[in-house]
Amino acid sequence: MVPGLSALILRGIELVQGRGPAFAARVGILLPPRGAAFAELRRRAAGVTWRGIMVVMEEQANGRPADDGANAVPAAPVNDHRVGTATAGRVRQTAQKLINVLAGAVRLVAAAFAVILLLRIGLAFVAVNPQNVIAEWIVRTADVLVWGFRDLFVPADPRIGLLANYGLAAVFWMVVGFVVAAVLSGLGQLVAGRARS
């Protein structure tokens, strides 16, 4: 155990107690006992793990008799399925949230790529100062994003070719973004589905 970790955990419990039962209910934690029972918890928990502290708190909250007064805290079983299931559920929920955020980021990036390509098409049909910094940035970035579609269609009018090639590249990025985001969302649902069973 990390030195001082028990004291830090117990200080956190004291802070929660100081805020009262309403705060404890709002944040969804089990409020440990007060007074002499907490002093006993503190005495028994000196130098033990968080799991040991939780076992003592659960004993006292459920009204079960504590051990015979020895200083040793009863160790939680290594294969305690309640602790493992709760932890696995929290991990799966966190993983699902991260996957969903990643899916949203993929959609956002794909949409930004498509907008840049569409702006490049618009610049070809409107009289714009080609030396303008913004116009130069849009043209350079779109030239990178057009990828392999740059010379796919080569009609007589270069603006029509730009419209076809860059427009197809914009559609490509939107489809790729949609497919990758859908796969990530499905993975997030799969993770969440396992968390409920």
Of all residues in the chain, the percent with pLDDT exceeding 70 is: 54
For residue range 20-74, what is the model confidence (pLDDT) as tens digits? Answer: 555 445 444 454 555 665 566 555 555 445 555 555 556 555 655 444 444 444 4
What is the pLDDT averaged over residues 142-157?
A: 94
Residue linked to tokens 């949609």: 178
Please spell the DSSP secondary structure of 76-135, one letter per residue: PPTT-HHHHHHHHHHHHHHHHHHHHHHHHHHHHHHHHHHHHHHHHHHHHHS---TT-HHH
Contacts of 80 (CB under 8 A, 6+ apart): none
Please state whether 132 falls in left (phi above 0), alpha (psi between -120 and 50) or beta.
beta
Domain boundaries, the chain: 5-62, 81-196
| C-alpha dihedral (58, 16, 14, 18), degrees to nearest 10 | -130
Is-contact 176 148, C-beta < 8 A? no
Of all residues in the chain, the percent with pLDDT exceeding 90 is: 46
For residue range 99-113, what is the model confidence (pLDDT) as tens digits? Answer: 999 999 999 999 999
Q: Largest alpha-carbon pair distance within the chain? A: 94
pLDDT at 73: 47
pLDDT band at 163 (very low <50, low <70, confident <90, very high): very high
Of 73-87, 108-122, 182-196, minimum mean pLDDT range = 73-87
pLDDT band at 92 (very low <50, low <70, confident <90, very high): confident
pLDDT at 71: 43
